[in-house]
Structure 1
Amino acid sequence: MRRAITVIVSLAICAGLLSGCWSQKELTDLAFIVAIGLDKTEDGKYLVTFQVVNPGNVAGATQRGGGAAGVPVSIYTSTGDTLVEASRKASEKLSRLPYYAHTNLIVVGEEVAREGLSGVLDAMERGNQLRPTAHLVIARTYLAKDVLTVLTPIDKISANQIIKTIEFSSKNWGETVHVDIWGAIHCLATAGRNLVITGVTVEGDLKRGKRQENVQSSVPDARIKLEGLALFKNDRLVDWVDGPSSRGVLWLLDCIRQTNLTVSWKGKKEAINYQVVRAKTDVKAKVKDGRPVISVHIQAEGDVIETRVPIDLSDASMLFQLEKEIKKNLKQEVEEAIETAQRDKTDVFGFGEAVHRTDPRLWKKIESKWHDRYFPELDVTVTADMYIRRTGLRNKPYTPRG
């Protein structure tokens, strides 16, 4: 009898402890926030922008072709002395409970980034809902609020479009990089490396881009565009790099997967297009005369995918000369990126980490002065091996008859 009572009591206790309904939340009571924008007001407070999904309109837009339904997202803003305060005050405008488990994008305004990201990232990391895998971008020229209010075609939710654009661009072009909250925190906590984050801006008429007509036209009045890389020193934004220099940064970070290099040939600019299909960057440090020096070696393979000049690609000597030209262009991009970072006194390449691995005792002595004294004067040697693996179906380009 005692045994039966014990079993019954145990089951009752387990049933109470394992009950899954105590924290239930109805879907109709939740506001699904997919993106957050962070700006500063004129009086120094945080201006937080919430991009909230309108589920019925997103589904309706998919079924009706995109134009007939209402807007897929709604924008709410709130201000506060801290991010948490601004988030709480949003309840004055939202009729539902803010739900951050589906937040995949954080857009940080340039002013906030220049003041420092430490406080921002601390608040995001401590939250029990916000995912540390949420993408992080910096709003350039425009406010983060402006970026999130532009309506986008194809991907109805602009946050999703920004995320997908970063992913595809970083794989195929190599001037952007994916950074999430956890990665940013890890970088800031690592000695000898500074942060690099992709920039995003608005191209076109911002006012018209906020209207539904922007997604009903084959040529939208405004588009969201990735633009440049933000270079940080400690947790503060100090400079931007664009074009080949931004790709040079990513060559040094070993983040290039595929990209294209155009080279001049016999006096004609952008004559031959070389597509990188595989790349690897090795960074090594050594100590010479008591000072650290860095050697960077880049190895890449690729294909010739376009020629605009007469060239015999079946000639091995021609291919060798072409590889030298490609190597020259690559080294120029990388050296420009190094010069920019040294001028800004910010080691975004992780050269300090390489020194730390090579000589921990020396690193302990120079760590406090690395970015301001040693890195700007650092001797960096760049070497590269570029190989042409394929030249396409035609070895000799045809010559149009005059």
Structure 2
Amino acid sequence: MKLLKVLLVSAVPIFLLTGCWGSSELEENAYAVVIGLDKAEDHMVEVTFQIANPQVGSTETGAAQSEPPSDIVTVTAPDILSAKELANSIVSRKLNLDHLRTIIIAEDFAKTKLAHHTIASSIIDPEMRRENNIIVSKEKASEFINKNNPKLETRPHKYYMFMQKRWRDTGFVPYSTLNRYFQRLSGELFLAIYATTEKDEIVKKNEDDYLAGQVPQKSGDPVQMIGSAVFKDGKMIGTLTGAETRISLFLRPKGLSHSVIQSYPDPINDQYRISVRMMKKGKTKVKIDTKTNPTEVKVTVPVALQVFSNPSLSNYTTNLKNQQRLKESIKDTLEKETIDFIKKTQDEFKSEPFLWYLEARQTFWTIDEYTQYNWPKKYSEAKIEVNFNVEIENLGEQLKPAVIKK
């Protein structure tokens, strides 16, 4: 009898652990790697699915030379999940979001409350991961996806993955995921990647002071990603240029963008600009005094410079006075641009994208005290000082610039 009981107890896990009811073969699934969200009538949403063709770009390329790299389907439905079910009436394979990495939101849709409701409700589906990247397109998301035809990447998910990694190199766009979006819904500013295929080209001396679509371009991929879409309380309220996005990332206490290449006016000959690599040396120090009125904020940003290009051929290498002049000029430019941008966030957005609210919150004993303090309002009235500790650590390998002898 005892042996029979042991056998019965041992058999129970077999029935619980060997279930295959939800299994499906890989070739039976259609994997959407990008989805686009557009505004439709009567609180409906136009959802565009870009479904990857697994044969294109794989070892079986020879058998798929005439096939497109992806299929694009747009349906109108109340939300993303119902749109996925509706799309299954068009797509031969079962639509799956397990490999989804990018969500494109049209700018006009991002400025409505429905955009937040649509995104927040979709998280119920376990296939919707919080690591999905958010991109805001100037035009309709469906147009953006259809017009994006990159030259070097046949697989759409690879294109978006490589482009989104470039922010670490350039700082032109922020790191924006669903997880970070949901963390900043209480008055804080959330920055999303801003992109477009529409062109409104402008030539500027400051190479990072562009929005997507403004970069002067003669050929190449149709999509430009530079700048940020600014969200507050789940709605888009404005945009930042590439230069303003860089400032935002550098002012964060633990910014992930530590090195950018940027040009500044030559203090000796203002007809030229000097290109430098600017590296963040350590954390940005933020001291917030919440007991004063107005609130006082003191920020210190340690940066080191490596001079890359000197078109004016002025002697900065051996002339110490010129080095000091260059250092002070870059410091003044950085502090002026930063203060002007902070003033813009105080007046226009009434909040900050620098994650300073995390520092302010640490000065209170309870969350209720912090909530009653109303940080966004206090920030918009705060007295803010910014100091860049600038050090020049490298001026190139040549002692003197080559000059033409007459």
Map of 1:214 onto structure 2: none
1:281 is matched with: 284
| TM-score for the superposition, normalised by structure 2 | 0.85
Q: What's 1:335 paired with?
A: 339
When residues 375 and 277 of structure 1 are mapped into structure 2, their CA distance, relative to the original with a 3 A threshold, is: closer
Identify unmatched segments of 5+ residues in structure 1.
206-218
1:131 to 126, 129, 132: 129
Query: C-alpha deviations, 1:179-226, integer Å up to 9, x for none?
Result: 1111111122xx462211111111569xxxxxxxxxxxxx96752220
Q: Secondary structure at the match of 1:101?
A: coil
Are residues 1:392 and 2:382 paired? no
Deviation sequence 1:268-312 (CA, Å, 0-9, x none): 244321102334322220146433111111111131111112213
Task: Go from structure 1 to structure 2 and tell me whether the alpha carbon gap of 1:235 and 1:273 turns closer, same or farther (over 3 Å shift).
Answer: same
What does residue range 3-402 of structure 1 map to in structure 2 within 5 Å? 3-59=2-58, 68-116=65-113, 117-140=115-138, 142-149=139-146, 150-168=148-166, 170-188=167-185, 191=186, 193-203=188-198, 223-253=222-252, 254-265=255-266, 266-279=268-281, 280-287=283-290, 289-309=292-312, 310-344=314-348, 345-359=350-364, 363-367=370-374, 370-371=375-376, 373-402=377-406
**Which amino acid is 1:376 matched to?**
S
State TM-score, norm by structure 1: 0.86
For 2:89, the aligned partner's letter is E
Give the Cα separation in 1 of the matches to 2:50 and 2:158: 11
Q: For 1:144 and 1:282, locate their aligned partners in 2 and report how far apart those are by CA, in whole Å.
A: 39
Per mean C-alpha deviation after superposition, the further-off stretch among 342-351 and 71-80 is 342-351
Contact 1:274 1:304 in 2 (8 A): yes
Instruction: Render the CA deviation track for 1:217-274: whole Å, top value 9, x for unaligned.
Output: xx96752220311112211111111132222222222343211232222232443211
Partner residue in 2 for 1:210 = none
Q: Percent identity?
A: 21
| RMSD after superposition | 2.6
AA matched with 1:119: H
Q: Once the 2 structures are TM-superposed, how far is the Cα of residue 348 of structure 1 from its aligned partner?
A: 2.1
How many pairs align? Answer: 379
Aligned in 2, Cα 1:359/1:316: closer, same or farther, shift over 3 Å? farther
The structure with more helix, counted as a fraction of residues: 1
Q: Is the 8 A contact 1:248 1:336 kept in 2?
A: no
> Is 1:51–1:74's contact at 8 Å kept on the other side of the alignment?
yes
Match of 2:206 in 1: none
Question: After TM superposition, which residue ranges in structure 1, 4 or more long, deviate above 6 angstroms?
Answer: none
In structure 2, the partner of 1:209 is none
Residue type of the alignment partner of 1:118: H
Change over 3 Å in CA distance of 1:365–1:241 after alignment to 2? same
The structure-2 alpha-carbon separation of the partners of 1:388 and 1:220, relative to structure 1 and needing over 3 Å to count, comes to closer
The answer to whether the 8 A contact 1:193-1:349 is kept is no
357-366 vs 228-237, which moves further: 357-366
